[in-house]
Amino acid sequence: MMSPMAFDETGTATSAPAPTSTPVPGSAPAHDGAGARPRDGAAGTHAWTTRVLVVGIVLTALNLRPAITSFGALLEEVRNGLGMSGSVAGLLTSVPPLCFAVFGVMAPRLARRLGPGAVVCAGMVAITAGLVIRPYTGSTAGFLAASALALMGIAVSNVLMPVIVKRWFPDRVGSMTGLYSMALALGTSAAAAATVPLTDALGGHWQSGLALWAALSAAAVLPWIPFVRARGARSVQSTPAAGTDRGEPDGLRITRSRTAWALAVFFGLQATAAYITMGWMAQIFRDAGVSAGTAGVLLAVTMAMGVPLAFVIPRLATRLPHQGPIAVVLGICGLAGYAGLYWAPAAGAWAWALLLGIANCSFPLALTMVGMRARTSAGVAKLSAFAQSTGYLLSIPGPLLVGVLYQHTGGWGLPLALMAGLMVPQVAVGVLAGRDRTVEDEAAR
């Protein structure tokens, strides 16, 4: 596991130490459950709160992708059961980034009014409700609406988890973010690998295979219940740790920075590749003659590559003066994986799954560069919001276009050519975003 300092250099401003008002779990957070500074005699309460938060963070991270990858593992069964065309199935694979772009913007405002813990709790409830409802709606429109409900919960939780980590664990941002990233990758791969076997164990009904993941999200509701009423982290901006340090450039015009635009496009292209992979890779293997169970395991292997590399890539990136070479290596792995899927999808299935898993680790690289390309924490916050919201919007057409090409050509030649073609500009903007400069300096010029 990388050291907390290695990650802190990518995710927070390092020019000044954390203010004394910032909460430190294990000693005394700036606010306890009721929002007041705790007394010395409440050390046991602080330790209990810290443990509950850690459990909540891990369980939440585990639930941020199963709604997507479980659907990918059973895509063919869902299509047949609801009578979907390939284009409609492609639309469904485009819904996640759309929901992340639209609903994620609401998260900071909701957190200021209700508290991040309360919003995350509501997000877990929304995920549970969506996963329970969507398999039994009996129509494509109902399936889509229920999926959007679950994805709304994922979107707001995804945005607020880093806020909660920074708010309550300012001295352990690196280790807690590593734990959160590992749990996210684990939940992603577990849902991809286990959905088909669990569906078979439950009688072979795809409805049961999709709905069973609601049990995991329901469990994630419980750790956040104490924070719904306590609202100990009620305001995203209640402490300097939230990115409102005195003297930071609140008037930063992020759109004037070429690096910000390069990061936004890089984030969008890597998200496009990730959601195409989660939505369609299992189907590519199945069409090549691989069994449904093995195809799910191959998708799980691809997703599981994010577990170790989420630690390695940020640490390596912070030690390099230019992060472009990492983007180039990841892009080469992606191109090799797509070429393998075209020429020998079944014969080299495990190799292609590994290569695409490495390529999909452009996500932690993007997050690392967001932290390194801004000089202040306010700049990091603005750059992160701009890059992610713009990037998710850019990623929406990709999975849909893959579905349309697949339906109208009856094969994977053109869709794979599209995936490989998008990897080229991803490498190019990754090199541009990896240059050693800050958005503050560019915007000022």
Which has the closest alpha carbon to 357: 382, 377, 337, 329? 337
Number of C-beta neighbours around residue 356 at 10 A: 28
Per-residue pLDDT for the chain (445 aa), expressed as one digit of tens each? Answer: 333 333 333 333 333 334 333 343 333 344 433 333 444 444 555 778 888 899 999 999 999 989 988 887 888 888 888 888 766 776 776 778 788 888 877 777 787 788 888 989 999 999 999 999 999 998 888 998 999 999 999 988 877 777 677 677 766 655 676 677 778 888 887 887 889 899 999 888 899 999 999 999 999 999 999 888 665 444 433 433 334 444 344 567 888 889 999 999 999 999 999 888 877 898 899 999 999 889 888 988 888 887 788 778 877 887 888 999 999 999 999 999 999 999 999 999 999 999 999 999 898 788 778 778 877 665 666 777 788 788 888 988 888 889 889 988 989 999 999 999 999 999 999 999 999 988 888 887 7
Tokens 């797509």 belong to residue: 338
* 46-48-53 Cα angle (round to 5): 95
CA dist 25 and 32 (Å) reads 10
Name 434's Cβ contacts closer than 8 Å, sequence gap at least 6.
322, 323, 324, 325, 326, 327, 369
Q: What are φ and ψ of residue 28, in 5° steps?
A: -150, 105
What pLDDT does residue 17 have? 38
131 in Cβ contact with 214 (< 8 Å): yes
What pLDDT does residue 377 have? 60
Q: What is the CA radius of gyration of the chain?
A: 21
In order, the DSSP letters of 178-238 are HHHHHHHHHHHHHHHHHHHHHHHHTTS-HHHHHHTTHHHHHHHHGGGHHHHHH-TT--TTS
CA dist 130 and 224 (Å) reads 19
Which has the closest alpha carbon to 317: 384, 280, 364? 364
Q: What are φ and ψ of residue 135, in 5° steps?
A: -70, -20
Q: Where in the chain is the domain with CATH 1.20.1250.20?
A: 1-19+28-240, 248-445
Q: What is the CATH number of domain 248-445?
A: 1.20.1250.20
What pLDDT does residue 166 have? 65
Q: What is the 3-state secondary structure (H, E, C) of 232-276?
A: CCCCCCCCHHHCCCCCCCCCCCHHHCHHHHHHHHHHHHHHHHHHH
CA dist 75 and 275 (Å) reads 13
Q: Which residues pair with 28 in a beta bridge?
A: 24
What pLDDT does residue 414 have? 95
Number of C-beta neighbours around residue 132 at 10 A: 19
What pLDDT does residue 341 have? 95
Which has the closest alpha carbon to 156: 201, 116, 128? 116
Name 261's Cβ contacts closer than 8 Å, sequence gap at least 6.
255
User: What does the block give as tokens for 162?
Assistant: 């880093």
Packing angle, helices 43-62 and 116-133, rounded to 10: 40
What pLDDT does residue 134 have? 93
What pLDDT does residue 262 have? 96
Q: What is the CATH number of domain 1-19+28-240?
A: 1.20.1250.20
